[in-house]
């Protein structure tokens, strides 16, 4: 995968390996949170490379959680749907596309970036100590349907 998405997976893998190594050496446990996407869970019109990259990231999250749980390391992912960001600005300018998005989003709106803070805080805090190997979808309910 000599492309941006494949590169993103490689970087996530390498960063997880380095963080896990340090956490194991320090014997202090820790939390790793990957940024996946609903595209790794359901079929989307985002393209095969993006979808398979995110699916691989979600599977990596599960396997690392299994391997590193014995060291007190929690590994989880956040799986967002559409949020207002510079990356989605052009797509969200297309009213017909937004209508398609909202049609499969039970909350009938696009996410706001501050709404990603709570899930990350939860997974990185003591409240998330018994959660590992999971992808927490922050998607307005979209993964109930698919797109």
d(Cα 120, Cα 26) in Å, to the nearest integer? 23
Residue 3 confidence (pLDDT) above 70: no
- pLDDT tens string 99-109: 999 999 999 99
| pLDDT number for residue 145 | 73
Residue 2 confidence (pLDDT) above 60: no
- Give the contacts of 56 (CB within 8 A, at least 6 positions apart): 9, 40
Residues carrying an active site annotation: 50
The band of 6, judged by pLDDT with boundaries at 50, 70 and 90, is confident
d(Cα 22, Cα 30) in Å, to the nearest integer? 10
Q: What integer is the mean pLDDT of 3-30?
A: 91
Sorted by where each begins, the domain ranges of the chain are: 4-144
pTM metric for this prediction: 0.91
3-state secondary structure of 31: strand
- pLDDT tens string 67-109: 999 999 999 999 999 999 998 999 999 999 999 999 999 999 9
2-6, 32-36, 142-146: range with lowest mean pLDDT: 2-6
The CATH architecture that domain 4-144 belongs to is 3-Layer(aba) Sandwich (3.40)
């Amino acid at each position: 995968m000599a492309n941006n998405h494949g590169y993103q997976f490689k970087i996530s893998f390498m960063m997880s390996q380095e963080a896990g190594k340090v956490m194991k050496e320090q014997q202090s446990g820790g939390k790793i949170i990957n940024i996946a996407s609903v595209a790794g869970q359901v079929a989307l019109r985002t393209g095969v490379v993006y979808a398979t990259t995110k699916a691989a990231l979600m599977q990596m999250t599960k396997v690392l959680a299994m391997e590193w749980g014995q060291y007190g390391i929690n590994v989880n992912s956040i799986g967002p749907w559409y949020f207002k960001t510079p990356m989605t600005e052009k797509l969200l300018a297309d009213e017909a596309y937004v209508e398609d998005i909202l049609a499969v989003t039970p909350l009938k709106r696009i996410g706001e970036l501050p709404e990603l803070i709570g899930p990350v805080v939860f997974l990185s805090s003591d409240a998330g100590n018994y959660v590992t190997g999971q992808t927490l979808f922050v998607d307005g309910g979209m993964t109930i349907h698919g797109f």
